Structure 1
C-alpha cells in the first residue's frame, strides 16, 4: 500500500474468492474458458426482449476504465472501439524483484487480469450462438481504457487522467469505474475535479461501492461517494445486500453481484463476485436509457434508475440505496425526466387490501315507499306462484289416485 494520500492505490472492487453456485460457474476460471451455455440468473430476472424493444444501447459509447478489454473474446470483438482505446498504466513499472511489468497494448485491448473483460461483457457483450449470456446493452460501444492491474498499480492520478480522456477525446457517454481507493482514503481534489468535468459534459459516471462490507462496516469509498456519481452496491439472488457489499449513505442503488457470469480473455465465460460486476450491470441500464433519452442529463438518468428500482422500503437505506435496479421499468417509465428519486413503495401499495365499497346511510320517504311497494308486488307474485304450484300438485295427486282405483 502506498502511504501517499495524493495518489492512493486503487483497488479493483472484487472480494476474496467465494464459492459460486454449482449450477452457475465452472470449477475453475481460466483464460480462455468454456462457454456458459445457459442464461445466467442475473439475466433471468430481466425480460430482455421487453427492454430491447425500448433500447439496445445503439450509438452509446461506454468507457470501461479498468484492466483492459481483451478483444479476442468473440462476444466483445465487435463491441469494442479499438481506435479509441488507451493505456494509462505508468511506464517502466517493476515488480518487487525488479522485473519489468508488462503494461499491455497501448490501445487497452489486452487484459492479463480478466477484470476489465468481465466488466465490458456485462455491459455490451454481443449475442452469440451457444450461450445465453449477453450484455444488457448489446449494441453499445465499449471504449477500452487500461488504468489498473491485479497489483493495484493504478492511482487516483492515472484514474483522473483516464476519466478526462474518456469524457474528452474518446467521446464517452457513460463511464464505468469498478474500483475504489485503498482503505477508503479520500484523495486530493484532482480526482473529484475530473469527475466534475465529466458530469459537466453530460457524461454519466457509474462506480462500484466497494467490498469491505463484512462485519457491518459503514464507510464512504471513492470515487463512488462523489456527488453526481451513481454508486452501486451488490445484491444477491434474494434482492438483498451481498454480505461483502460496502454499506454507506452514499450508496444509490444495488444490482446483482454474486455468481456473475461474464466474458473472459481469449474466449468463453467465468463466474465472479463483487460490486465490480454490479456497477457494469447498472452501466448497461444507463446506456439503454441514454439511447432512449439522449438529451437527459446524468442527474436525470441517475434519478430514473433510482426511482424505478425495486424497493423493500419506501425510501433510501445505506445497504442497497433506493433498491435493486429494474431495467425494464427504468425504460418503460422513461418518458418525462425527474431530477431526484422520491420516497414511495409501489410493491407495498399493490399489496394493500382493497377498499370497502361505500354504502348509502339513508333514503328519502319517496324512496322508502317505492321500495316497500316493490316488496309487496314481488311478495304477491311469489305467493301466487306458490298457491298455483300447490293446486297443480294436488290435482296431479288426485288423478293418480283415480287411475289406481280404476285398475
Structure 2
C-alpha cells in the first residue's frame, strides 16, 4: 500500500530563493440576509419566536437554545423592526468569520531544492512512512518525555471533540482513533466530514501520536476555505452534549470589543465557553499566529482573540524545537501553557524542515512534497494550531490515568493545578504572558493524582 512505500530520508534542508508568504487566513461571513439575536433567558426566546410567527408564519430561523441565540434568515422589514424595538432582545447583529492562520509548507511559496540527508539515515537501506514519522515527530517526544508518559497512560478512552475542518477518516494514523457515531458537518449543503482543507487532519495527527488511545470525534465547521462562528458555536454545544471530555479548537477570530457590531460574536462565544465549563468540558485553543501581544492590542484597540482570550479556556502558545517562543505566536495573560509548534528557521540560506511540525495530511490531497521524498498523507507545518492539540493530547493522557487511579473524572481546576505545578517553567519565573505556566510535563503530574480510598467496611 502507499503508506508502506520505502524512503531514505531524515534531515531535509531546503534552499530558499524567495521570502516566506504571508499567513493564510480563512474567512467566512455569516449567511447573507440573516440576523443573529441574543436573549437573556429561554422564556424571552419563546415569547419572541411566537411574535415572529405571528408577523410571518413562513419565517425561517435556527436556534441554539442553550445560549439563547436565534438566527433569522431573510427577515422582513416588519421582523427587523420588531428585533430592534423588542425589550427582550439583548443584542442583535451577525456572528461573523472564523480564521485558520495556516502556515503549512506548501503555502509558503518556497522552492524545494538542495535536499540534504543525515548520514545516520543514509546508512539505512529502507524506512517506511511510520518510521519516517517517528524520526521526524520530535514534538511527540517533547510532550511524552521520551516515552516516560506512555508507561502510565496513552489516553485510553478519553473523548476529544475536534472542532475543525473534518478529517481524513481513511488515514492509517488517524482512522484507528476515530469515533464517527456523533461526527457531524456544519457546512451548509455538505454533510460529509471529509477534510477538504487539510487543517483538521494535521491537528488530528498530532493528537493521535501524543495520546494514541484517546478517541477523536470530528465536528466539521470549516469547508474548503470558509467557516461561520454561528455553526462553530453550535458544534461546541453539541460536542458538550455528546459528552466529549475535551474540545480542541485550533481556530479563532479577532474581534473589537468596542465595536457594537462585533459584541454579539464575543458574547455568543463567552456563553458557549461557559456552557462547556459548567458541564466540566475543557476547551483547549490556539492562541493565534500573528505575533501579537494580545494584552497590548486589547488595551490599545480593544481587540480580542476568540475563544482563546475567554477566561476558562486553555490558550496555548507555540514553542520552537529549542523550547523558545515561536516568532509568530501570539502572547497574552490568558496563555495557560506552551507546546511545540515549530518555526521556519533559515541557516546559511537554507530552510531546515526538521524544525517544523511533521504530521498527517489528507491522503486524497496532493501534499506537493513528493519531489523531496515526503509521502502523500503527510505535511510539514507550524503554528499554534498544532501546539493546541499537543496540549489536548497531554491532558487526555492525564485524564485517563486520573480516571484509572480514582474512578472519577478530574475537574478542570484539578487538571490545571496539577499540570501547572509540574510544568517546565520557561521565560520569567512563574506564569507569564509568553509561556503561561510553561511546557506540560505530564509524567510528573501523574505523581499528584490520588489513588482509590476504601472505607473500613469495604
Instruction: Look at both structures and tell me which one has the larger radius of gyration over its CA atoms.
Output: 1
Aligned to 1:158: 231
Which residue, out of 369, 372, 383, partners 1:274? 383
Alpha carbons 2:293, 2:332 under 8 Å: kept: no
Distance 1:195 1:22, change over 3 A: farther
User: 1:18-33 alignment to 2 at 5 Å?
Assistant: none
Matched, 1:50 2:148: yes
Maintained 8 Å contact 2:28/2:227:
no
Q: CA RMSD in A?
A: 2.8
1:316 corresponds to which residue? 431
1:12 aligned onto 2:100:
yes
Compute the displacement of 1:309 (Å): 1.6
- Could you tell me which residue of structure 1 aligns to residue 200 of structure 2? 116
Q: Deviations over 1:237-279 (max 9, x none)?
A: 1211101000111111110001111111126321111000000
TM-score (norm 1): 0.68
Alignment-derived partner of residue 178 in structure 2: 80
Q: 1:290 to 1:23 in 2, by over 3 A?
A: farther
Q: How far apart are the structure 1 equivalents of 2:29 and 2:102?
A: 22
Q: Give the structure 2 partner of residue 171 of structure 1.
A: 243
- After superposition, residues 2-401 of structure 1 pair within 5 angstroms as 6-15=94-103, 17=107, 36-37=132-133, 38-45=135-142, 46-91=144-189, 103=190, 105=192, 108=193, 110-124=194-208, 135-151=209-225, 153-168=226-241, 170-182=242-254, 187-213=265-291, 218-219=296-297, 220-258=304-342, 259-266=356-363, 268-294=377-403, 295-312=409-426, 313-335=428-450
Task: Give the aligned length.
Answer: 302
Counterparts of 1:248 and 1:22, CA distance in 2:
38
Q: Following the alignment from structure 2 to structure 1, what is the Cα–Cα distance between the partners of residues 29 and 401?
A: 44
Q: Alpha-carbon deviation of 1:114?
A: 1.1
| CA separation of 1:3 and 1:79: change in aligned 2, threshold 3 A | closer
Q: Is the 8 A contact 1:207 1:229 kept in 2?
A: yes
Instruction: From the two aligned structures, give the one with the greater strand fraction.
Output: 2
Instruction: List gaps (5 residues or longer) in structure 1.
Output: 25-32, 92-102, 125-134, 337-407
Give 3-state SS (helix, strand or coil) of 1:289's partner: helix
5+ residue gaps, structure 2: 1-26, 31-92, 119-127, 257-261, 298-303, 343-355, 364-375, 404-408, 452-458
Counterparts of 1:275 and 1:112, CA distance in 2: 21
Query: Hey, what's the Cα distance between the residues in 2 that align with 1:22 and 1:321?
Result: 36
Q: CA deviation at 1:293?
A: 1.8
C-alpha deviation, 1:303, in angstroms? 2.8
Preserved contact between residue 165 and residue 198 of structure 2 (Cα < 8 Å): yes
